[in-house]
Structure 1
Amino acid sequence: MAVLAAGAFVLFSGDGSADSARAAQTSPQVNAPVADPPRSTPTRASRGGTRSPEPSAKPSEAPAPKESVKPKPKVRKKAKKPAKKTYKVLKSGTCTASYYWEGQMTASGEHFNPNELTAAHKTLPMGSKVRVTNTNNGRSVIVRINDRGPYAGGRCLDLSKAAMQQVGGTGAGVIPVRYQVLARD
């Protein structure tokens, strides 16, 4: 535009020569920039935001683009699992085990609770801990000896109903087990 205006000024002022008139006519024409027509869908460049019609004169006055800032996830401290109790195996063996659920007094003097992990054994001391593993499925439970029995042939343990459910044997009633008498380490 400036070149055209200068060339036109030289032509009309009368001072210019024919050379300057020709130079003005042969100089490249500069067209004014045409504004983009509005689009119905946002383009990749616009990122879906609205564009201002003209850029601001001072870049520092331009509004900062809104960025979606994801909040930092809160770091949860993992709860420490209590250390597994370690036991030393004093004695082990295999036998069949049954279960009972009827409320009665136990040989230790406490009332039998079928929802506790307890068992009856003929000779083990009261309060002994025994790990009982169902050999059919590998599930195990640690029980406390609080009663005497069983008095049916071939059985060495009589588990509470809760203990039998833990090892998955309530459907069968009598299951083959591996037992380990434990001492606390």
Structure 2
Amino acid sequence: MKTKNTHSVKKFMLGASLLMLVLSGCSSIPAKSPNNLIGKQESGKASYYAMKYQFRTTASGDRYNHFADTAAHRTLPFGTKVRVTNIANNKSVVVKINDRGPFIDGRIIDLSRSAFGEIADLDVGIIEVTTEVIR
């Protein structure tokens, strides 16, 4: 015999499942940034993700991979390609935005470990950069 409580739980689970299905269909990652963002530049500090974030899910749904050239930005659309240039040595790397952050004042972008390593010594930890949206 099924109780009233069992039916309520099943209805709740069905409703929650439908809501998750609908919400997952609302998320999209653009192939490129809107044209009005191309050329947008910022200057500030960049840091990189700690090793503890390896394989964790990013805000875009991707798994963080410290070997991929990816980054976190507070507002740029997921999938945006950004050239990040180290002001001290003029080295650049192109990264894809797939996460949100950084959430520390003064920082404008968090780079993957390998992307940071392409333009600076990992031991430095934080560098002054310029960023430019390229697509």
Per the normalisation by structure 1, the TM-score is 0.50
Whether 2:70 is the aligned partner of 1:121: answer no
1:96 aligned to which of 32, 36, 45:
45
SS of match in other structure, 2:40: strand
Show structure 1 runs of 4+ deviating over 3 A. Answer: none
AA in 1 matched with 2:123: G
Whose RCO is larger (CA < 8 A, sep 6+)? 2
Number of the residue aligned with 2:95: 143
Q: Which has the larger radius of gyration?
A: 1
Contact 1:169/1:175 (<8 A) preserved: no
Aligned residues: 96
Residues 129 and 181, structure 1, Cα contact 8 Å, conserved in 2: yes
**Corresponding residue of 1:166:** 118
Structure 1 residue runs without a partner (length 5+): 1-87
Distance in 1, Cα, partners of 2:121 & 2:83: 15
Deviation at 1:110, TM superposition (A): 1.2
Contact 1:117 1:143 in 2 (8 A): yes
Deviation at 1:93, TM superposition (A): 1.8
> How many percent of aligned residue pairs carry the same amino acid?
46
Which residue of the partner structure matches residue 104 of structure 2? Answer: 152
**TM-score (norm: length of structure 2):** 0.68
* 1:131 corresponds to 2:83: yes
More helix per residue: 2
**Where does structure 2 lack aligned partners over 5 or more consecutive residues?**
1-36
- What is the alpha-carbon root mean square deviation over aligned residues? 1.3
